[in-house]
Amino acid sequence: MNLNPLLNDVKSRVMHRLPQGINVDEVVEDNMQEITDAVVERVGFALEQAMLGAQSILKTQSADYINGLSVSEDLIIEIDASVKYLEEGYGPHQMLENLITGPKSKVAKDGSLYNTIPIGKTDKIDVKRAMGNQTKMFLGKGYSTGTSRRKLQDIVSKMTSDINAATNIPRSDAKKFATASSKQDPASSWVHPGFAGVNQLDQINAQLRDELIEQVSNIIEVAAMQRG
């Protein structure tokens, strides 16, 4: 975790508000534990916000999205290129050819290809597992710059509680299936209408940055006033 860019922005912001003679670098160094704890807590909540947002919008593909999330060294919530289309969206496209030529496709007696496709069911177990994996990775980073293990565990405990509530929504266990066949018209059958995308990470990261600057500024200013 690289706090330097954040700290440089904060120091520029608070420099003129500190009592005369206060060395801001010394204040930062002496309060690094509290600063790091505050940063990790807020980043954890931003990651949670991204996971819950994906779960509420994507439903059946939310596990893929959540598994693709990560926190960069510069404290940005990112998504892997392989699932970035879920964040940014995509246009309408025909699906039939891919469905009937996949590894699970079969050949009918008349020589046509077909495949039985499960539809319309959210796998709560996969979503919960993906969210759990993210919280474990967040905890496992350790943040050796000073954050206490107990603090991280408290953050992850809250995230896990929120995840349990979000994924405990009653849903029908009945599985539904539809058949894709080479006898169908690809122009009218199995045409995906497109998806606007979750489009949440820019807003989450902008809010995260603003709140980090505000929180760290407050920590430094209060500590400096106590010295003055």
Instruction: Give 78-88 pLDDT, tens digit per residue.
Output: 999 999 999 99
Report the candidate in 152, 157, 169 with the shortest Cα–Cα distance to residue 132: 157
Q: Are 139 and 125 in contact (CB under 8 A)?
A: no
SS3 118: strand
Sole residue written with tokens 């006033």: 225
| Domain regions of the chain by residue span | 4-89+123-170+195-227
Share of the chain above pLDDT 90, in %: 49
Distance CA 73, CA 3 (A): 8
| pLDDT at residue 52 tops 60 | yes
> Taking a C-beta distance cutoff of 8 angstroms, is the pair 213, 207 a contact?
no
Give CA–CA dist 96/187, Å, rounded: 9
pLDDT given for residue 202 in this prediction: 97
| Tokens 């497109």 found at | 194
Tens digit of each residue's pLDDT (9 = 90 or more) over 189-227: 999 888 899 999 999 999 999 999 999 999 999 999 888
CB atoms closer than 10 angstroms to residue 134 = 23
φ/ψ of 169, rounded to 5, equals -80, 125
pLDDT, position 166? 67
Once rounded to an integer, what is the mean pLDDT over residues 137-142?
Answer: 69
pLDDT-above-70 percentage for the chain: 82
pLDDT for res 119: 75
Q: For residue 138, name the pLDDT band (cuts at 50, 70, 90).
A: confident
What pLDDT, on the 0 to 100 scale, is given for residue 172? 45
**Per-residue pLDDT at 10:** 95
pLDDT in tens, 152-186: 667 667 766 766 666 665 454 556 889 999 999 99
Q: Which phi-psi region, left, alpha or beta, contains residue 169 (left: φ > 0; alpha: ψ -120 to 50)?
A: beta
Q: How far apart are CA 66 and CA 51, in angstroms?
A: 6
pLDDT at 122 over 90: no
pLDDT greater than 60 at residue 144: no
138 versus 174: the higher-pLDDT residue is 138
Average model confidence (pLDDT) for the chain?
85
Q: Cα separation of 220 and 189, whole Å? A: 61
Is the pLDDT at 28 greater than 70? The verdict is yes
Phi, psi values for residue 181, rounded to 5°: -135, 150
